Structure 1
Amino acid sequence: MTKKITLFQLIAMSIAFYGSIRNVPTVASSGWEVIFFMAGAAILFAIPISLIAAELATGWPQEGGPQVWIKAAFGSKWAFVVSWLLWVQMLVGMQMVGSAFASIFAYSIHRPDLVNDGSYIAITTMVIFWIVTLANLKGSLGKWISTFGSVIGIYIPFTLLVILGIWYWIQYGNVNLGPLNFNSAIPDITNLSKWSFFAGICFIFAGLEIASVHANDIDNPKKNYPIAVFISIGAMVIFNLIAGLTEANAIPVHDIQLANILQPFQIYFTDLNIPWITSILGLMICVGMIAQMSAWILGPSKSMVKVAEEGYLPAILQKRNKDDIPISFVLLQAAAVSLISLLFVFIPGINTVYFMVLILTTILYSIVYLFIISAEVKLHYAATDVPRAFKIPGGSAGMWLICILAYLGVGITIIISFIPSIDIPNDKKLTYILFESIGTVIFFVIPLVIFKFKKESWKKMVVAK
């Protein structure tokens, strides 16, 4: 028998799937208001999506996750759309990681002037992503990079950030954050631009449905999976709040650089008279970002190559190398990331571009979540004969409560994502709206067009393994 996953292991895996130090500057930029946004994201997004994904994963545990659930509920057409959106949002997300890498690397080599150089950001993002891509063409090397890099560049820096942030607060008190009261913690909900931060906060939890694939492998899933959900989400909320609020205390909110994770470390280590450690830690974080890129490069591509092999994409996209790596998709996504990176050349200001890309990623992922929620509703009634090791508590009433909360959270996220944040310069607001609108429409329509004009010959050319 396969050894069951313990409750502790599931909690650790859940946090590892969507925990990232990269999100801390976004949290910090909202000040005390982030408490409101974080609580809303947990109640209207993280918890409902986790519970929905768990029921679907235990009912349809086949490899493929969301695509399998959507296919069971709505058929191959919409399963293909979901596969495509998951792949595309990862392209945008990896470009975002690459631009953050370029920013951190500039500070690590004592060249902060490069951070505002769009050409440097674009070129560095392209180069590092291509290096990681080529490394992953050899499967074993990619796995080693992901494992080693996660410890060096994610877990150690995140722990240090929390500890140093608390130390700085104890040492100097509340110097920049201001008093915590009703006015500082509750945003002006009549100011719609403020709600743009909600989308960014929700993105912290994007990907949490991935951990649900292990729901069948845990002891007593009916009892332990909800516990794992609440503990892992609670831990991420607490750690992000501590790290984000302490950063906001150390740095005036308008000076926070969204793509510069190293910024608070510079303040902490300089105050400790060991500023040289900042560069070392910066290089460690760069290693962590390489690990993130490496960990995610193959996943969406492996999903898409399976779709291609079912006959939905041309034979050229069905190619794998001797290590079973979907080489066509891996190279195609590297080219796409390079193209997206050119935004930094044409739109000045890394904060503006970074936020625009972050929100587009959130919109695309949110569309996927709408499909997942709808699949839960559909299959709750259409597939009553399919056994689930875990079911949303409360029967149909519980299911509807959870799905309504999820619909609200995802719907609000999508709507407010099209409203320019107060941090978007006035002369870039129209650019922001056009970028998010056109990007969303194009990426959603492309798979529908491909599906409509797919050819029977694509399926016939699949080589049997």
Structure 2
Amino acid sequence: MSDNKNLMGTKDAVFMAVAAVLALRSVPMVAGYGPSAIAIWIIAALFMILPLSMVCGELATGWPHDGGIFVWVKEAFGARVGWVSTVCFLFSCVVFFPLMLQFGFAAVSGNIMSAKIADNKVFVGVGSAVIFWILTLINMRGLKFTNIVNSLSVYLGIFIPSAVIAVIAIYWVISGHPMQTDYVSQSASFIPDFSKLSNIVLASSAMFAFAGLEVTGMVAGRMKNPQRDFPRSMIIASILIVGIYILATIAINTIYPASKLNVVSGISQSIEFASNTLGMPWLSDVIGGCLFFGAVGQINSWLVGPIYMFQEAATEAKILKPNSMVVKMHPVHDTPHIAMIVQAILVTVMCFSSFLSDSLEGAYWILSAMTTVCYFIPYLLLFSAYIVLRKTRMDVHRAFKIPGNIAPYVIAMMGLVSILFAIAILFIPPDGIAPGNFWLDKAQIFGGAIVAIIFALVLYSRGQKRNHAEV
């Protein structure tokens, strides 16, 4: 840490934050609201990205240990609650995988194969499960091929499609085609209509698009001047992330009507329409493949990491035995193959759960809402832990601290209230998604979090009983 060359600067932290948070799959659901989507992006960023970056930055420099949220929550509320936050986070990843698979698979099947296939929930569900098992088998063999897939997916799945969408939108306008969504006339509304409860639910989806910034908080202690550079880098990264989301939204709305945008395959849908109109049908196939590889790469990069986090938290909290099958490593490839198989089984169940929904869009929204609940429970504990540690553990040195005496609590409460709102609003499906059975939908959305919490408490209780018996 004393070698200044090994410390991070503002630019390094900015790139890390953008890479950790930005995901094109989040754009179609918000872009469906037309010009008002711009305000929704900004509001969601203010109440999500600002509190998350500042709170995680201070906690990461105060407790710069492996484990992240588990360590911070454990310091404030004990190992039991910390363990619950870890399991909920990991369960959110299990739900997130089929969500990304549906996005990627719908993109490749809808563009390269047939539009009817993209709307076939059975085909997409089974295909998503098969793809995840292939990725699991690849990752069981070690990181060599995994790193190649990850590198290719960053370029193919983010950089290329983002640039192409922007270029197509510009060419669409300069070639004389009208904007498919009204952004310029006096009747264009940039103010969200929050008189409709179905419109308010969009805030939850938009907020989740900024999730993941807690990862960047882990580098705050490795910066040259944390008190100055960390907040500066988070401000720059936030502007870039919000700016890209807004520009991508406008670009998609330029070439395709917002009112007709599909929340799952909206990007490929708009590209297909534009490429056919402009006489470039081949472009749709290219973008469909790029989006597919982007989704696969994002899944691939997260496939093993959560399992290692689970193992570390389980070991520190003494939940599992050292020789447990779950933590057993492969004798040749040294990978947690048993845990990966269990994870693949769970993801397969999540993929097949789409069969219960009335439509693929409904299944996509339910998985998105379920992921939001499981992912945001650790956030609730995170912001609560910050408030407690700010009151009780100011003796712990932080290389970065939110300035002031009142601002830290205001910022933490902004995050806490925002997360509570985002979870509560999930009772209302957004516009454009046909509601299914109310109680079945809510059972799927909130049932996952309940199962994760019960599972965590049972494992913790069994681990404590075993530890007492061995003493």
Matches within 5 A, 1:104-253: 104-137=107-140, 138-170=142-174, 171-177=176-182, 179=184, 184-253=189-258
Check whether the contact 1:85–1:444 (CA below 8 A) recurs between aligned residues: yes
Q: Letter of the aligned partner of 2:391 in structure 1? A: Y
Deviation string, structure 1 residues 29-73 (Cα, Å, up to 9, x no partner):
121221222121111111111100000011111111111111111
Structure 1 equivalent of residue 49 of structure 2: 46
Structure 1 equivalent of residue 413 of structure 2: 404
Check whether the contact 2:223–2:230 (CA below 8 A) recurs between aligned residues: yes
Matches within 5 A, 1:266-305: 266-305=272-311
Check whether the contact 2:72–2:385 (CA below 8 A) recurs between aligned residues: yes
Calculate percent identity across the aligned residue pairs.
25
CA distance 1:387–1:438, change in 2 (3 Å) = same
Deviation at 1:179, TM superposition (A): 5.0
Matched, 1:352 2:357: no
Structure 1 range deviating more: 350-359 or 425-434: 425-434
- From 372, 397, 403, the equivalent of 1:393 is 403
Q: Letter of the aligned partner of 1:380 in structure 2? A: R
Deviation string, structure 1 residues 132-152 (Cα, Å, up to 9, x no partner):
111111122212211222112
Structure 2 equivalent of residue 264 of structure 1: 270
Give the 3-state SS of the residue equivalent to 1:262 in structure 2: helix
Q: Letter of the aligned partner of 2:165 in structure 1? A: L
Deviation at 1:327, TM superposition (A): 2.0
User: In structure 2, what is the Cα distance between the partners aligned to 1:182 and 1:212?
Assistant: 42
TM-score scaled by structure 1?
0.93
Q: Letter of the aligned partner of 1:333 in structure 2? A: Q
User: In structure 2, what is the Cα distance between the partners aligned to 1:90 and 1:152?
Assistant: 23
Deviation at 1:182, TM superposition (A): 8.8
- From 17, 30, 43, the equivalent of 1:14 is 17
Structure 1 range deviating more: 424-433 or 439-448: 424-433
Q: Letter of the aligned partner of 2:60 in structure 1? A: A
Q: Tell me, which stretches of 5 or more residues in structure 2 are unaligned?
A: none
Deviation at 1:3, TM superposition (A): 1.2
Q: Letter of the aligned partner of 2:150 in structure 1? A: S
Structure 1 equivalent of residue 458 of structure 2: 449
TM-score scaled by structure 2?
0.92
Check whether the contact 2:373–2:446 (CA below 8 A) recurs between aligned residues: no
- From 311, 329, 332, the equivalent of 2:339 is 329
Structure 1 range deviating more: 371-380 or 413-422: 413-422
Q: Tell me, which stretches of 5 or more residues in structure 1 are unaligned?
A: none
Check whether the contact 2:362–2:435 (CA below 8 A) recurs between aligned residues: no
Check whether the contact 2:157–2:293 (CA below 8 A) recurs between aligned residues: yes
Check whether the contact 2:70–2:313 (CA below 8 A) recurs between aligned residues: no
- The total of aligned residue pairs comes to 460
Q: Hey, which bits of structure 1, 4+ residues long, moved more than 3 A? A: 177-183, 426-431, 455-461
Deviation string, structure 1 residues 330-376 (Cα, Å, up to 9, x no partner):
21111111001112223231111101111111121111111111111
Deviation at 1:159, TM superposition (A): 2.1
User: In structure 2, what is the Cα distance between the partners aligned to 1:212 and 1:220?
Assistant: 14
The root-mean-square deviation of aligned C-alpha atoms, in Å, is 2.1
User: In structure 2, what is the Cα distance between the partners aligned to 1:460 and 1:230?
Assistant: 51
Deviation string, structure 1 residues 65-122 (Cα, Å, up to 9, x no partner):
1111111111110111111011100011111011112211212433211112122111
User: In structure 2, what is the Cα distance between the partners aligned to 1:53 and 1:427?
Assistant: 38
Q: Letter of the aligned partner of 1:440 in structure 2? A: A
- From 355, 364, 375, the equivalent of 2:374 is 364
CA distance 1:255–1:297, change in 2 (3 Å) = same
Check whether the contact 1:313–1:458 (CA below 8 A) recurs between aligned residues: no
